[in-house]
Amino acid sequence: MRILIQFPEGLKQKALEYAKSLEAKGDEVIISASPNFGACDLALDEARNLNVDKLIHYGHAEFNKVDFNVEYVPYEIDAPLDLLPKSLELLKDFKTIGLVTTVQHLHQLEAIKRFYESNGKTVLIGKPFGFAKHPGQILGCDIGSSSSVDSKVDAHVYFGGGIFHPLGAVLNTKKPFLAIEPFDNKVEFIDKLRETYQKRSKGKILSSLKASSFAIMVTTKNGQHNMRLAEILKKKIESDGLSAAIVVANTFDFDSLNNMMEFDAFVNTACPRIAIDDVDRLRKPLLSANELMQVLSMKKELTALQK
């Protein structure tokens, strides 16, 4: 069988090992070297151009259905649970907690739940919205496992590495949010980030009020492509007497975007985290679709006041 294998950035060091194991079974193996940002970013163009029989995507669970033979191989990581007692001290004032993690630690979720329950906590594990496939699992773009229980819990607990995944959940919930990072040996409340990012969003909106031309970003990535939304936003912008154009790429190069100086602001329709995480990479404001609508509404209000 002719196979293309694909790894996210954190697992690319495993590529040769996995390739050799497949070759030992008689398969012909090609390794994708393209950047990968998740199961929403399958190397389908490469797979089709290379005429492979299967694409094996390591490190993530299935994201959405595609018209190709794709095998998903999640990568489990046994993270130390040593920080759970310390987290219990910080959670002493909270009776009911919501528990979330990433696909790499889903197999540890039950053990973490039992620990808290044995120490008098009520633990709720919510369901994702649709892109994530398992209760308690969060993605950068699917925080349903947290938001679905937000009204029922006193606090949330995230177990896993890094801030990328819990940040999306923090911004879409209201309760205290504790992050346990077993690899960095850190336990801390991160709900203070809500105010930081709310201020950043307001700053982007205010700095876009004088914008008259907008670049609407559309990606060709299978799980992020949203041309329909881009077309709707373009019509909305133009109906308000402003200029708009759709710009397309698979992976956006921010140096190239910065060369498009005739645009006053950019609007993201790709991965929703781009308009949160990458705003400092552009010299012009980088808005989400919701932020764009706020800009257009405020522009109308300002115009009416000036008449």
Domain contains 78: no
Domain contains 11: yes
Residue 180 sits in the same domain as residue 207: no
User: What local confidence, expressed as pLDDT, does residue 139 receive?
Assistant: 94
User: What local confidence, expressed as pLDDT, does residue 217 receive?
Assistant: 98
Q: Is residue 163 a contact partner of residue 179, using CB atoms and an 8 Å limit?
A: yes
CA distance linking residue 282 with residue 292, whole number of Å: 16
pLDDT at 129 over 90: no
Question: Which residue has better confidence, 59 or 303?
Answer: 59
Task: Provide the CATH number for the domain around residue 256.
Answer: 3.40.50.11860
What sign for the dihedral angle of Cα 201, 202, 206, 207? Answer: negative
Average pLDDT rounded to a whole number, residues 281-300? 96
User: What local confidence, expressed as pLDDT, does residue 119 receive?
Assistant: 97
CA distance linking residue 42 with residue 47, whole number of Å: 9
pLDDT at 6 over 70: yes
CA distance linking residue 92 with residue 113, whole number of Å: 16
Average pLDDT rounded to a whole number, residues 104-124? 97
How far are the Cα atoms of 3, 196, 257, 275 from residue 201, in angstroms, in the given order?
A: 43, 9, 20, 9
Tokens of 120: 């008098």
Q: Quick one: pLDDT band at residue 302, thresholds 50, 70, 90?
A: confident
Split into its structural domains, the chain has a count of 3
pLDDT at 303 over 90: no
Final residue of a structural domain among 143, 166, 191:
191
The pairing of strands 213-219 and 243-249 is parallel
Residue 138 sits in the same domain as residue 162: yes
Average pLDDT rounded to a whole number, residues 260-281? 96
Task: Provide the CATH number for the domain around residue 41.
Answer: 3.40.50.11840
Sheet with 155-159: strands ordered across: 122-124, 96-101, 155-159, 177-181, 186-189
User: What local confidence, expressed as pLDDT, does residue 307 receive?
Assistant: 66
* Main-chain dihedrals φ then ψ at residue 298, nearest 5 degrees: -70, -35
Per-residue pLDDT tens digits for 200-234: 999 999 999 999 999 999 999 999 999 999 999 99
pLDDT at 306 over 80: no
Half-sphere exposure for 255 (CA within 13 Å, toward CB):
0
Task: Provide the CATH number for the domain around residue 135.
Answer: 3.40.50.11850
pLDDT at 305 over 90: no
Average pLDDT rounded to a whole number, residues 89-104? 97
**If you average pLDDT over every residue of the chain, what do you get?**
95
Which residue range forms the structural domain that includes residue 44?
2-73
Average pLDDT rounded to a whole number, residues 140-150? 95
Residue 293 sits in the same domain as residue 208: yes
Residue 99 sits in the same domain as residue 56: no
